[in-house]
Structures are given as C-alpha cells and as structure tokens.
Amino acid sequence: MVEFGIEFVPQHPYWKTTFLAMQAEKMGFHYTWITDHFNNRNVYVSLSMVANYTTKMMMGPGVTNPYLVHPVVTAQAVASLAELAPGRVVCGLGVGDKTTLKMLNVDQEKPLSAIREAVAIIRDLVSGKAPDVKGDIFNVSGAKFSFTAPSPVKIFIGAQGPKMLMLAGQIGDGVLINASHPHDIESAIKYSREGSAKAGRNFEELVVTAYASFSIAEDPKKALKAVTPVVAYIVAGCPDSILQGHGVPVDTAVKIRDGIAHGQWKEAFGQVTPEMIEAFSICGTPNECTEKISKLVKLGVTQFVAGSPIGPNMHQAINQIGQTILPAFK
C-alpha cells in the first residue's frame, strides 16, 4: 500500500493550517509536511499546533535546510517536537530553495557535505549522543542535549540531482524526490538505489517519496491556474540538467527566477508553459490525478506527497483526494 502525505505552506494563520491538517488526517492522509521558508510562519510553531490537534499523522519540516538553520538547532526542534508527538515526528532535510536563499545572499556551499554532516549531527543529538563532526561545513564536537527524544526521528533527504539522490540512498531513512514526471521519478529511484547498494544498505527499507506540486479540481482549467505560480518557483530552482531534460530553456528559467526575486509576479508566472506544468506538477481532474499517481507507484514510489497548491480550493481538494484518490490505492 502506498502512503499519502500532504504539504502545507504556513502562509495562512496557524489555526487554518491546523484545521486543514486535522481534515487531512480525517480523510486518511498518513503524513503532514510543512515547508520552512523565512517569509512564512515558523515551521515548528506550525507543527506544534498540528501535533496537539492530531493523533495519528506523521509530521515534520518538509524541508528545512542547514544553511539558514544550523543542524544543532534543527535537532533541538525535532527532538522537542517528538515530546509532543512521540513516534510521529520525521525530519525533511534539503539544501533549501535557491530563489529565497538568494534574497538573503546565502550561498548553498558544498551541498553534499552540508547534508551529510547535518544528518550526522541531527541523528546523534536526537538520540542522546554527542556528535563529533569535523567537516567541510560544520565543526561540532562535545555538544549534547539535556534531554533525549522519546522516539527515533527518521530523516528524509530532499533531492533532485544524481549525487544528492545517491546520498539519500546511502544515509537517508527516506528520500523526498522533488518531482512528478515518471521519467524523473524513474531516474531518481535508479540513483537512490545505486547509493543504497554502494553503502551496503537494503534499498527496500528506504521510503521512496514523490514530493509533487499537485492541483486537483473538477474543472481542469481551475486546477491549472492554481498550480502555475508553484511551477514557476519549481522551474526557478531546478538544476539545469533537469530543465534541459524536459526541453525547458535555461534562459527562461533565469527570467522566471529574476522575476520572482524582484517581485515581478506577472512577468515570472507568464513565462510558465503547458509543457512546464506537465513536467513539474500533477494537475487535473480526480481521475487524471489518480492515473498519474498510479504510474509513479508502479515505478516504486511508496509515499506520494500532494504538494502546494493542492487545488484552487484547498479544503475541497483535501476532500476530493480522500474520497476519490486514496481509496484507489488501498
């Protein structure tokens, strides 16, 4: 059975995100992932609210990054959250969004080293150990918490490029594949499997997650309109190799990235084409979305995350997914 997750961007008041998470749990979703961007509400305050008003769902940042938030602080946050929701906390970790980090003049220096070292630091601290990491990015020795999380916290690594996907297979409990197209998912699973083999791990124990921009509506035009801004952000942050694989000109992505960085939303979103929508989202009617998810599951996906925007009306979209899509995969 494939599990289903849902992504929330905490751009709404806390009560609304919490209400939607409660609704998602009621409709049968297994995971809540909340994004971590400086321009929205704090991810851990949001997750704490969700923890207090749900009983079964797994939850965690999806994803946080080690450039804006030091891994020691991330470990402290997820370990504390695990006290609120024992056995229900996971941690999504990635290199962050290129566009928003650029606004803060933050460089994504040596991303593979940053993630590898961050995973080691977080794992040790959450489990009550003192990490001894002397790496390219972080130097942590002797730090230890005064408390220990009551249950393990699995770390999911957000990945797109081949090297990061291999790293996820080597050291992650799960991989969050930031993709929705079968070609990208198939390629990502291949690299993650190679990473697991290289580390002598059983790939079948890795939670293979398709973390996809998603938009569902009975009217496909409304679904398309809702997903366009999100696809613009995806294209803006995509590695050149993935853009080229889908025939998206790199200079177009640069125009979108610059438009977003300067708040020129109309210009940026106007560059999004139907081909980009098809390549970087799952969008359409309930039947169309079910068919597209089925293709990913057949490739080996074990968790599907319905990412932002979910649909033109998030409340209705959650109900539609729960009533029409989840039953198809039980």
Q: What is the DSSP string of 73-121?
A: HHHHHHHHHHHHSTT-BEEEE-S--HHHHHHTT----SHHHHHHHHHHH
**Burial class for 248, CB neighbours closer than 10 Å (0-12, 13-18, 19+):** buried
Write down the pLDDT at residue 168.
Answer: 98
Write down the pLDDT at residue 201.
Answer: 97
Write down the pLDDT at residue 330.
Answer: 86
Residue 117's alpha-carbon distances to 124, 134, 167, in angstroms, are: 11, 8, 11
Distance separating alpha carbons of residues 6 and 313, to the nearest angstrom: 14
Write down the pLDDT at residue 239.
Answer: 80
What is the 3-class SS of 258-308, one letter each residue?
HHHHCCCHHHHHCCCCHHHHHHHCEEECHHHHHHHHHHHHHHCCCEEEEEE
Q: Are 51 and 88 in contact (CB under 8 A)?
A: yes
* HSE (side-chain half, CA atoms, 13 Å) at 113: 10
Which amino acid, residue 11? Q
Which amino acid, residue 48? S
- Tell me how crowded residue 41 is: count the other CB atoms within 10 A of its CB: 17
Q: What is the DSSP letter of 324?
A: I
Write down the pLDDT at residue 98.
Answer: 78
Estimate the crossing angle of helix 111-126 against helix 162-171, to 10 degrees.
Answer: 20
pTM for the predicted model, two decimal places: 0.94
- Tell me how crowded residue 52 is: count the other CB atoms within 10 A of its CB: 10
Q: Are 95 and 36 in contact (CB under 8 A)?
A: no
Main-chain phi, psi angles of 242, to 5 degrees: -75, -40
What domains are there in the chain, each with its CATH number? 3-220+282-329 (3.20.20.30)
Tens place of pLDDT per residue across the chain (330 aa): 899 999 999 999 999 999 999 999 999 999 999 999 999 999 999 999 999 999 999 999 999 999 999 999 999 999 999 999 999 999 999 999 877 888 899 999 999 999 999 999 999 999 999 999 999 999 999 899 999 999 999 999 999 889 999 999 999 999 999 999 999 999 999 999 999 999 999 999 999 999 999 999 999 999 999 999 999 988 988 888 889 999 999 999 999 989 988 889 999 999 999 999 999 999 999 999 999 999 999 999 999 999 999 999 999 999 999 999 999 998
Distance separating alpha carbons of residues 143 and 251, to the nearest angstrom: 45
